[in-house]
Structure 1
Amino acid sequence: MRMPLALVPAVAAGLAVVGLAGAALAHGPTPQKIDQSITIQAPPDAVWKVVGDFGGIGRWHPDVAKAEASGGNVEGTTRRVTLKAGGTLVEGLDEWLADGRTYSYRMSDPDLKALPVSSYSATLTVTPDGTGSKVSWIGRFYRGDTGNEPPENLSDEAGRTAMNRYFADGLKGLKAAVEGRTTH
């Protein structure tokens, strides 16, 4: 049976709407990105001496209760970061470049109590900035609930808020540690 030509545009439009609705419902999470930096009044080598120790995050990040690392600053090293607010981040070192004063790492195991994200990777870099240094911390992550309709506490916004706070607190703590001030 042939469809009357007058109905073809209407049927095609209807199928397009159904197709778009289906695609929208099938769409999962999109990667999120945060990018923060801070200027520190100290030479890059002095800043790198503090922040460049992958296992030493507990010495400068005020949200960290303790950090344990195995393997030093070698690719494949794992660190366990226990947060004061609860939860533990298990992170693996992907790349550590002393000459570039940079390292990249990723979360191995999600802990939604620690951060409401299902996965993340991050890069921390120290560069010269006038007479001081600029520290950049860039992260990419997926929200805590990767389903199509996440609860508010595991949404993209919850992930962005938590990751931005964690990075900002860390950078402020690093600045205080290097410049010799307390963070409280």
Structure 2
Amino acid sequence: MKAVLNVLVTGLFLLPALVFAHGASRLQVEETVLINADAETVWNMVKDFDSLHKWHPAIISTKAEGGNEPGATRVLTLKNDSTITETLKKFDEESMSFMYQIDEMSSVGQVDIEGEMHDIPAVPVSKYKAWLTVEAEGDQTKVTWLAKFFRGYTGNHHEPKELNDETATNAIKGIFRSGLDTLKGKAEK
């Protein structure tokens, strides 16, 4: 009995250290929009991996290679001249969906974490993967944009505001919301 009690007490002391050692948790954002247009029209607006600048207000240009084949890449240039490089991982014409990931981003600054300088990426996230799906919903079209990612700083030190969970989540929500709202406006013209 004494041995069991010792194990439990030791476990209770180690639990905070284990939780702290785990690092950042995976985050998720999902945004949707209902559009008063048929699904085929909306899909044709978003399906080309090199067309994001045509319907997202934060993107001034898209340079892509590989079409809509898995492995295709694109470099997005944002209004602040920062860039994001992405790879198309899955593309399904029949189900009107695709999945992509961010491979690299330019830095928009630096932040000091425990005496060491860290880059602040154009979007304050890491290990980002996203899915865009278009589906008919009655006489409307539902577009869903889902992302799974980690905050910009995944170390075990206290993360700075510029790279924390809240900043990462709010950035993705803002990107998705502005893109989906602009897409709705363009599709309903």
* TM above 0.5: yes
Matches within 5 A, 1:161-176: 161-176=170-185
Equivalenced residue count is 175
Q: Hey, what's the Cα distance between the residues in 1 that align with 2:160 and 2:152? A: 9
Equivalent pair of 1:86/1:113 in contact (CA under 8 Å)? no
The offset of 1:13, in angstroms, is 5.2
The offset of 1:107, in angstroms, is 0.6
The offset of 1:25, in angstroms, is 2.1
The aligned residue for residue 140 of structure 2 is: 132
The aligned residue for residue 56 of structure 2 is: 61
Report the 3-state secondary structure (helix = DSSP H, G, I; strand = E; otherwise coil) of the residue aligned with 2:11: helix
Task: Please provide the CA RMSD for this pair.
Answer: 1.8
Note the residue ranges of structure 1 that are not aligned, 5 or more in a row. Answer: none
The aligned residue for residue 159 of structure 1 is: 168
Q: Hey, what's the Cα distance between the residues in 1 that align with 2:4 and 2:84? A: 56
Note the residue ranges of structure 2 that are not aligned, 5 or more in a row. Answer: 107-119
The one-letter amino acid of 2:84's match is L
Alignment partner of 1:71 out of 55, 66, 69 = 66
Report the 3-state secondary structure (helix = DSSP H, G, I; strand = E; otherwise coil) of the residue aligned with 2:51: helix
Q: Hey, what's the Cα distance between the residues in 2 that align with 1:110 and 1:146? A: 16
The aligned residue for residue 36 of structure 1 is: 31
Report the 3-state secondary structure (helix = DSSP H, G, I; strand = E; otherwise coil) of the residue aligned with 1:158: helix
Equivalent pair of 1:126/1:135 in contact (CA under 8 Å)? yes
Deviations, residues 122-178 of structure 1 (Å, cap 9, x unaligned)? 000100011120000010001100012211110111110001100111101111121
Structure 1 stretches of 4+ with a deviation exceeding 2 A read 5-9, 11-14, 110-113
The sequence identity of aligned pairs, in percent, is 34
The one-letter amino acid of 1:55's match is D
Q: What TM-score results when the alignment is normalised by the length of structure 1?
A: 0.88
Matches within 5 A, 1:11-160: 11-12=6-7, 14-111=9-106, 112-148=120-156, 149-160=158-169
Structure label with greater radius of gyration: 1
